[in-house]
Amino acid sequence: MPTMMDVFAEELKKAGELNPNIVALSADVYGSTGLKPFADTFADRYFEMGICEQNMISTAAGLALEGKTVVTSSYACFSPGRSWEQIRNTVCMDQADVKIIGAHIGVGSGRNGATHQSFEDIALVSCLPNMMIYSPATEREVRLCAKELFNNRRPSYLRLSARICPAPKGYHPDINALSVMKQGTDIAVIGSGSILEKALTAAEMFERQHSLSVAVFNLVKLCPLNTTGFHCLKNFKKVLCLEEHQINGGLGSLLSPVFAADASLPVFERMGVNQSFGSSMDIQDLYNFIGLSEQHIFQRLQSLIL
């Protein structure tokens, strides 16, 4: 099964062929974070920085201030995790053209355990001025995000997971707007990232048992947030925000003010990791452990109609 990092790797290599100004840095994880094909092809434009996430980011800023478009990669728990202050001061403050690739977001590979899992990255990055955040779910979205990333000339964060949400038939993603993954009329799920696969499964489980239907919406670009399409949510009875992230500081925290400010929007509830860490186990067990399995989402949908 290809990961989002595999898809990004293809796009980065393609972009590297078109744009000699792109350089890439990693912190001893280039193979598992999507940089290897670029590094193998453009050896003089790849800088292995060693296990030094903080310096990787400041060095990237220095390269960007000299006109390069710079890609950095690590596990999201380490960058932006460990390198947050460098991102704040040396990338965002000077609007350096640095693309921070946070790989293995959410449950990651499962067995690596809590230190390698990242349920806090949106919280860390979304508070930073000048930062754009991309959180794709499908393969096509990863490719669209990559293309925009290499051309936006802005500090950007791309969060990639080890799983890819299969695109529903006829799905036309727009990474700059609320995109409909599944039509429905009663309950709306808004999510981001590959967890949407579970939302789609849970929605079908729900519809098999109830006469109500569930729409599933996808948001890819989280910052800046485009809320112009949110008026379509007015006719739903409830909206559930779903994320593979801590409830505090994640997608739900970004959407809450929108719902609080518009009384015509329906009741808004949030589902995600609730003030806990992950653990070391197989991925499906881990989704159960953190309360984000298909069954958990299904039960939550049921609770919305009680």
**Binding-site ranges for another protein (CB under 8 A):** 47, 49-50, 52, 54-68, 70, 85-86, 89-90, 93-94
Specify the residue, 97 or 294, whose C-beta has the smaller distance to another protein.
97
> Shortest gap between Cβ of 55 and another protein (angstroms)?
4
Token readout for 56 is: 């990787």
Distance CA 302, CA 306 (A): 7
Q: How far is the CB of 95 from another protein (least distance, A)?
A: 9
Q: Would you say 95 or 248 has its CB closer to another protein?
A: 95
Task: Record the tokens describing residue 182, joined without a space.
Answer: 């599944």
What is the Cα 113 distance to its own chain's centre? 20
Nearer to another protein, 94 or 139 (CB): 94
How far, in Å, CA of 188 to CA of 69, rounded?
38
Answer for the pair 282, 290: CB distance below 8 angstroms, yes or no: no
Nearer to another protein, 3 or 72 (CB): 72
What minimum distance in Å lies between the beta carbon of 130 and another protein? 12
Phi, psi dihedral angles at 121 (to 5 degrees): -65, -40
Give least dist CB 80 to another protein, A: 15
* Cβ distance to another protein smaller for residue 70 or 137: 70
| Choice between 68 and 104, CB closer to another protein | 68
In angstroms, what is the minimal distance from the CB of 53 to another protein? 9
The least distance separating another protein from the CB of residue 145, rounded to whole angstroms, comes to 24
Of 57 and 188, the one with the shorter C-beta distance to another protein is 57
Residue 197: both structure tokens together: 């696969």
Least Cα distance to 73 among 179, 131, 160 occurs for 160
Least spacing, CB of residue 67 vs another protein, in Å: 7
Spell out the residues 6+ positions from residue 92 whose beta carbon is closer than 8 angstroms to its own: 128, 129, 130, 131, 155
Q: How near is the Cβ of 25 to another protein at its closest, in Å? A: 9
Nearer to another protein, 51 or 232 (CB): 51
